[in-house]
Amino acid sequence: MDAIEVITTKRDGRPLSAAQIDWVIGAYTAGGVADEQMSALAMAILLNGMDRREIADWTAAMIRSGERMDWSALDRPTADKHSTGGVGDKITLPLAPLVAACGAYVPQLSGRGLGHTGGTLDKLESIAGWRASLSNDEMLAVLRGAGAVICAAGGGLAPADKKLYALRDVTGTVESIPLIASSIMSKKIAEGTGALVLDVKVGSGAFMKTVDDARELAATMVGLGADAGVATVALLTAMDRPLGRAVGNALEVAEAVEVLAGGGPADVVELTVRLAREMLDTAGVHGKDPEDALMDGSAMDAWRRMVAAQGGDPDAVLPSAAETVQITAPASGVLRRLDAYGVGLAAWRLGAGRARKEDPVSLGAGVTLHAGFGDIVRAGQPLMTLHADETERFERALEALDGAYEVGPASDPDALPLIIDRITA
Ligand code: URA
C-alpha cells in the first residue's frame, strides 16, 4: 500500500477500505506518510466525505494509534461531557464537580483555547498553583479523592489525532464533519469514560453555524460512541450569543464559582444542571439531584477538593487586567442581538486567547457583560466592560464589537432557544 493510492481513492470519490485507513493512520503516526500527503487526503475527505463505516474505521484507527485509559478500578460509573466549543462556555468548571457530588466519577481531559473560543485549561490556570499536566496515576488519585479531575491529555492518547489536528488547522481542513467527529470521539473513547454527553454548539460563535450541520455532527458522534460501547447522548445548544456574562479566563472562573455557590447567570445554571442530569442518567447513577447539590454546598466542596488536589489554591485571588473600558447602551430597548463571534473575537484581541498554540494568554483579559441577550436596557447604562493588560488592545477589540450588538424595540424572533434538541443513538 502507498499514500498515493489512498489519496487517489478518496480524490476520485470512492470509499476507503478498512485496510487503507488502518495503514494510512498508522504510517502517518510513525512518520512514513508525509504531512503534504496527509493534507491532500484530508482535503479529499473534506470535499468528498466519508460514509459511516469509513468514519468508524478512521476513529478506531486513531484510537489504536495510542493508549486507551481504563477506569475499571473505580467503584462507581464514569461520565464525561465534551463541548464543541464556544464563547463564554465555562460549563465544564462547575459541571465536573457537580456531577462528582451527585455520585459519578468525572475523568475530564480538556484542551486550550485557539482563536476566538476559550479553553478550559487556560481558564483553570488562572488559579494560583493549579496544574494541568498529570500522570495517569495522579489522575486516578485526584479522581478517587475529589470525584472529578480536569487535566490535559497526555501525549500517548490518540497521537494520530494530535498530529492530524495540527495539520488540519493550517491547511483549511478543520470544517469537515467526518474529521471533526472522528477527532473528538477518538479522544473521548480513548479517555475511557463509560458515559458521554456531547454539547454541540450552534451559531456564529461555534464550528457549526446551522442547526442542520450541528444535528449531522451530533448524530455522527453519537453513533461512533454507541459503536464503541460508550453510552452517548448529544444536546444541540445555542451559541449565537455568549453563554453567561463573563468571557475570558479568570472572569469565567469567577462566574463558575458563583454557580457553584448557588448563584450565577440563569443560562449557565440551566445548561449546567441539564448536562449534569444527562450525564448522571446516561451513566445510570440516580442519586442526589444536581440542583440540590448546587444549593447544599456539596458541588462547591467537590470543586475545592478537585482544585486543591491539582495544586491550586481555591481561595486565591484571581488575576485581573490592568486596564478597563466601558461600553454603554446606545438606546433604550431590548438587547436583541449580542453576537457570540463578535464578543469572542473582542475577548481574543484583548488578550484572552492566542493566535498560535505556543502564545501565552492574559489571564485577566476579556469581556464582562452587564446585560444579557434579551434583557431590557436603558440608553447610557453600562453594557459591557472590556479588560486588557495593555491599552493599545482596546481599539481592535472595539472594532470587533462594531455591529455585534443591537438594542431594538423587541426580541429577535429567530434567536435560538438555549437547548435546541437532544440526539440519541
Ligand atoms: N475539536 C477537536 O478535538 N477536533 C476537531 O476536529 C474539532 C474540534
The CATH number of whichever domain residue 307 belongs to comes to 3.40.1030.10
Point out the ligand 1 atom lying closest to the alpha carbon of residue 183.
4
> Do 223 and 302 sit in the same domain of this protein?
yes
> Do 335 and 301 sit in the same domain of this protein?
no
Show the domain range for 244: 79-315
DSSP 414: T
- Measured by CA distance, the residue closest to atom 6 of ligand 1 is 180
311 lies in a domain?
yes
Tell me, using a 6 A CB cutoff, whether residue 37 lines ligand 1.
no
Provide the number of structural domains found in the chain.
3
> Do 130 and 196 sit in the same domain of this protein?
yes
Q: Give the residue numbers marked as catalytic.
A: 82, 161, 168, 183, 187
What's the pLDDT at 355?
Answer: 75
Tell me, using a 6 A CB cutoff, whether residue 183 lines ligand 1.
yes
Cα(225)–Cα(323) distance, integer angstroms: 46
> Do 184 and 261 sit in the same domain of this protein?
yes
> Ligand 1, from 180, 187, 221: best to mutate by most atoms within 8 Å of Cβ?
180
> All 3 cell numbers of residue 271?
445548561
Tell me, using a 6 A CB cutoff, whether residue 127 lines ligand 1.
no
What's the pLDDT at 299?
Answer: 98
How confident is the model over 111-121, as a mean pLDDT?
Answer: 82
What's the pLDDT at 396?
Answer: 97
54 lies in a domain?
no
Could you tell me the CATH number of the domain that includes residue 19? 1.20.970.10
- The residue among 72, 118, 68 whose CA lies nearest residue 93 is 118
User: Of 278, 298, 315, which one is at a domain's C-terminal end?
Assistant: 315
**DSSP sequence for 191-260:** TT-SEEEEEEEESTTSSB-SHHHHHHHHHHHHHHHHHTT-EEEEEEEE-SS-SSSEESHHHHHHHHHHHH
Residue 188 has pLDDT above 90, yes or no: yes
Tell me, using a 6 A CB cutoff, whether residue 78 lines ligand 1.
no
Residue 413 has pLDDT above 90, yes or no: no
Cα(212)–Cα(421) distance, integer angstroms: 11
Q: For 145, what's the count of Cα atoms within 13 Å in the CB-facing half-sphere? A: 15
How confident is the model over 365-369, as a mean pLDDT?
Answer: 98
Torsion angle in degrees (nearest 10) through CA of 179, 183, 188, 190: 120
> Do 133 and 38 sit in the same domain of this protein?
no
The identity of residue 385, as a single letter, is T
Tell me, using a 6 A CB cutoff, whether residue 165 lines ligand 1.
yes
Residue 114's pLDDT band (boundaries 50, 70, 90)? low
Please give the model's pTM, rounded to 2 decimal places. 0.96
Percent of the chain predicted with pLDDT > 70: 100
Long-range contacts of 367-370 (CB under 8 A, 24+ apart): 367/242, 367/246, 367/247, 367/248, 367/251, 367/343, 368/245, 368/246, 368/247, 368/251, 369/242, 369/244, 369/245, 369/246, 369/247, 369/338, 369/343, 370/245
Tell me, using a 6 A CB cutoff, whether residue 180 lines ligand 1.
yes
Tell me, using a 6 A CB cutoff, whether residue 117 lines ligand 1.
no
Lowest mean pLDDT among 152-166, 208-222, 317-331, 387-401: 152-166
Contact of 339 with 240, CB cutoff 8 Å: yes
Q: How far is the CA of 109 from the centre of ligand 1 (A)?
A: 13
Residue 226 has pLDDT above 70, yes or no: yes
Tell me, using a 6 A CB cutoff, whether residue 184 lines ligand 1.
yes
Q: How far is the CA of 258 from the centre of ligand 1 (A)?
A: 29
DSSP 78: B
> Do 129 and 253 sit in the same domain of this protein?
yes
417 lies in a domain?
no
Q: What angle do CA 146, 148, 150 make, to 5 degrees?
A: 125
Q: How far is the CA of 308 from the centre of ligand 1 (A)?
A: 29
Q: How far is the CA of 63 from the centre of ligand 1 (A)?
A: 14
137 lies in a domain?
yes
> Ligand 1, from 81, 83, 184: best to mutate by most atoms within 8 Å of Cβ?
184
> Do 311 and 341 sit in the same domain of this protein?
no
> All 3 cell numbers of residue 48?
468528498
Q: Provide the angle, in degrees to the nearest 10, between the axes of the packed helices 266-283 and 92-101.
A: 50
Residue 137's pLDDT band (boundaries 50, 70, 90)? very high
Tell me, using a 6 A CB cutoff, whether residue 343 lines ligand 1.
no
Q: Is 11 exposed, middle or buried (0-12, 13-18, 19+ CB in 10 A)?
A: middle
How confident is the model over 263-267, as a mean pLDDT?
Answer: 98
Could you tell me the CATH number of the domain that includes residue 386? 3.90.1170.30
> Do 162 and 84 sit in the same domain of this protein?
yes
Residue 391 has phi, psi (to 5 degrees) of: -60, -30
> Do 229 and 351 sit in the same domain of this protein?
no
Residue 155 has pLDDT above 90, yes or no: no
69 lies in a domain?
no
Mean pLDDT of the chain: 96
Cα(85)–Cα(29) distance, integer angstroms: 26
- Cβ count near 331 (within 10 Å): 12
Beta strand residue intervals within 4-49, DSSP E? none
- Cβ count near 368 (within 10 Å): 18
Cα(348)–Cα(343) distance, integer angstroms: 9
- The residue among 49, 58, 53, 68 whose CA lies nearest residue 24 is 58
> Ligand 1, from 183, 188, 200, 208: best to mutate by most atoms within 8 Å of Cβ?
183
How confident is the model over 172-200, as a mean pLDDT?
Answer: 95
Percent of the chain predicted with pLDDT > 90: 91
What's the pLDDT at 411?
Answer: 87
> Do 250 and 129 sit in the same domain of this protein?
yes
Listing from the earlier edge strand, what are the strands of the sheet with 79-83? 79-83, 195-202, 231-238, 419-424
- Measured by CA distance, the residue closest to atom 7 of ligand 1 is 180
56 lies in a domain?
no
Residue 48 has pLDDT above 90, yes or no: yes
> Do 280 and 401 sit in the same domain of this protein?
no
How confident is the model over 359-379, as a mean pLDDT?
Answer: 95
> Do 150 and 227 sit in the same domain of this protein?
yes
64 lies in a domain?
no
